[in-house]
Amino acid sequence: MTRYFTLSLKTVLTRPELIFWAIIFVEFWVLMWAYVFGVHIPAHEEAVKDYVSTAYGGLTILSLSATATTIAYALIYSSKSIKFVTKYTRLSPSRFMVENAVSSITVLLIVSAIMFASMIIVFWHRFGLLVLPHNPPGLFAATLLSAVFLYALSSFLSLLIVVLRAPRSASFIAFVPLMLGFLAYASPWIDFRIIAYISPFNCISSLFYHYYSGKQPVTGGIFMPGDKELMDTMLTASSLTTWTITLLILDIILLRRMRGVGIEEIRIV
């Protein structure tokens, strides 16, 4: 790894927007879920575990999508210099992609770990129960797959801005992950039905719930009255994997097309 890897990791992790939107803001909602929304949850292990798993699925996707928005911004910032450094330094295009991907995925995993640790501590304090995931390796695998997906989405969006020569859309497009993350966060109140399989953000939230609680996730509306439709976990994981592979292929295609774009057509945010 070159010095780009460590500096990129440090830069993204210390960006104020990441610290605020992905950590502080979501931690506020962790406290709300624990001390305000959770007042009527009985101190019964099964009920608490189900509640904590739902909170983990919803709040972690919110935090990770805010991180993805920061990563998209960081990539847009670098876009003018990427063309030069990949031509005349030892950071070749493939090496750049690998180092950028590894540093971004590491950031997403660190943010997940912060969310994980804080939720265990806060909910333990609130309910007096240590709620640990039912399937830790499964939860880690789902987190890793989600991190790869969110990186692929962030780079796809930033490359799209460059290739479409649409710098004015940068602020809007970089926020797409956060907007979709908020939609997935609404799933305890809204039954998304088939969309729960199509939206990768809902898939992430459902997989987190599944591996944390050990139960089958539902398509949505868990806090609402009425029958619930159980989700097929394999199908959910397959949908997220398909999205990830598709976006990675699109990234490669866009990266090739980016070569024809002059740096004067790219904006630094």
Partner 1 sequence: MIEVVDLEVSYGRSRKPVLRNVNAVFDCKSLVLGPNGSGKTTLFRALCGLTSIRRGRILIDGLDVERIYAKTGLIMVNFPEVLSLLPVKIHDLISLYADLTGGDKAFAYRVLADLGVGEEILRSRRLHELSAGQLKAVCTAIALSAHAKHVLLDEPFEQLDPARKSRLIRYLADYDGIIILNTHETWLVRSLEDWRAFFMFEGVLYGPVLVKELLEARFSLREEANPIMRMMISGRAVSLVKDGGRMPLLSLESLDRVYELALEGERGDEILHAQP
Stretch that binds partner 1, among 32-40, 92-100, 172-180, 208-216 (CB under 8 A): 92-100
Shortest distance, position 89 Cβ to partner 1, whole Å: 4
Shortest distance, position 261 Cβ to partner 1, whole Å: 7
**What are the backbone dihedrals phi and psi of residue 218, each rounded to the nearest 5 degrees, phi first?**
-110, 165
**Is residue 89 near partner 1 by the rule CB under 8 A?**
yes
**Is residue 268 near partner 1 by the rule CB under 8 A?**
yes
Rounded-to-integer distance, Cα 221 and Cα 19, Å: 30
Rounded-to-integer distance, Cα 214 and Cα 73, Å: 36
Rounded-to-integer distance, Cα 15 and Cα 103, Å: 14
Stretch that binds partner 1, among 8-16, 48-56, 121-129, 231-239 (CB under 8 A): 8-16
Shortest distance, position 4 Cβ to partner 1, whole Å: 6
**Is residue 16 near partner 1 by the rule CB under 8 A?**
no
Which helix or strand (DSSP H or E) is residue 73 part of? helix 45-88
Exactly one of 62, 76, 83, 155 binds partner 1 (CB under 8 A); which one?
Answer: 83
Count of residues interacting with partner 1 (CB under 8 A)? 33
**Is residue 168 near partner 1 by the rule CB under 8 A?**
no
- Cβ contact 66:181 at 8 Å: yes
Rounded-to-integer distance, Cα 111 and Cα 109, Å: 5
Shortest distance, position 14 Cβ to partner 1, whole Å: 10
**Is residue 2 near partner 1 by the rule CB under 8 A?**
yes
- Cβ contact 109:140 at 8 Å: no
